[in-house]
A and B are shown apart, each in its own frame.
Chain A
Amino acid sequence: MATQHSRMAARVMVAPSVGLLFVWMIVPLVTTIYFSFLIYNQLYPDRQGWAGFDNYYYFLTDRSFLEAIWNSIVLVGGVLIVTVIGGILLALLLNMPFWGQGIVRIMVIAPFFVMPTVSALVWKNMFMNPVNGMFAHIAKAVGLEPFDFLGHAPMASIIGIVSWEWLPFATLILLTALQSLDSEQQEAAEMDGAGRLSRFIYLTLPHLTRAITVVILIQTIFLLSIYAEIAVTTNGGPGTATTTITYQVALQSLYDNDVGGASAGGIVAVILANIVAVFVMRMIGKNLDA
């Protein structure tokens, strides 16, 4: 019934929601772009006026900028590697029949429901604290020196915390994909002489590519904006060891009160995120076809 008339009617009917979504997106974006060209520092209310591209210039030439980009890449990449590999292994495990399967599945999903600030605090104080943390106690119990995770391996520790939060998501999506794997295919491969490992490489992994793509795409979007875990645990430190682009922007606006500079940083982050998105879509998006 896609006549000229009904198509017109459909457009008129969806117009309000499309318009609302457009305004929803465009207003904050335009405001940010506007601020990024202003001299706007809350500590110096007397200094006002157009800044031109100065905010961008200072943000991009700041020596911590390249470091922040690198930190972002390490954080996102590290968490992706851990969650995809760990997610596949966990999904394979959970897909096997065992007693108490239902309860275990719910428990595996549980970390996803814990708020990022809360889970970061729990990890920081209950597990990784070099004096009172569980890991410190375990180390002392077996006669080892307690390790100061957040002091000596800050990025790895944050990757660990964020991976713990996102592993359930990856596991859940990959488990659903695993369950749709055709059992007759597996049996056919078994008769064709494929062992467990060959079946995993030639059947299971290709079957999972689409789910893995979804996991990587969605997680990349959310991981680029990680803020709470860094703020709660290391505050971007020690030094600038865990300052990502997102955290750099937050530092500029919250600690330096430089709204103009932070806005410029935000726009830079948006542009970088879009470049990453295009790149990722090009690279693995073709798996979503067919």
Chain B
Amino acid sequence: MKTTQELQTIARQVRRDILRMTTAAKSGHPGGSMGTTDWMTAMQFNIMHHNPEKFTMDGNGEDMLFVSQGHITPVIYSVMARRGFFPVSELSTFRMFGTRLQGHPSTEHGLPGIRMASGSLGQGLSVGIGAALGKKMTNDNHLVYTLHGDGELQEGQIWEAAMFAGAKKVDNLIATIDYNHQQIDGTVEQVMDLGNLKSKFESFLWTVVTIDNGNDMQQVLDGMEKAKSLTGKGKPVCVLLQSQMGYGVDFMQNTNKYHGSVLNEDDLKRALEQIPPTELGDY
């Protein structure tokens, strides 16, 4: 377990990684990655019970995480590396020819920590449900976590899955929504308003926890602990993580510009000035 301050330091380093990785690759998705950095760091270092050093595909006897919006690989890979799934130095290969760090997560390239390909949106909740049912069938009382973009909720399959999990009482499942209100073509409200998300999930027979500031490490830790405490009570748990796309660099926030575009070398320098180096060191 890390202290909140230690987690904040890791998150700062992860944000440096994200920006350096995407600029080096000249492609990738820094915005959503920066917004979910605090959540991902909290999950991998404190919230989840798992064994990064000895990764197993079946995840038997440990918590599992499925990131449904596969495009946020920069944060997925950086936090995984920092957590010990694979060498930090490998982050320099992100999206490069021959890498295990594919543009979107893949199992085919054998990267420890990835159990399912994602990228085509809307599928991770179903996968998480399957794993959660598998855990129930094998009497494994660990939890299954999923992460979704808010724009991703426009996919119909999400609601098939939400209906299933509520109706079938899949109560060992915590689905977190990265509620940053941004997607490629504009704000979520402009593109396809999600309405009242809390009441939507509640009417699908879920319990909903809201984290008001998804970029406040202490709030994330407290919110996820609360979510954990609500499992095993006959309902799946949804966490509405109110985050900011691009969090950590002022000119990347409050815009969807950096959803899928990256900083040039000059902007990277400007951005990194706002995220001072840590004792963990750059990759």
Pair from one complex? no
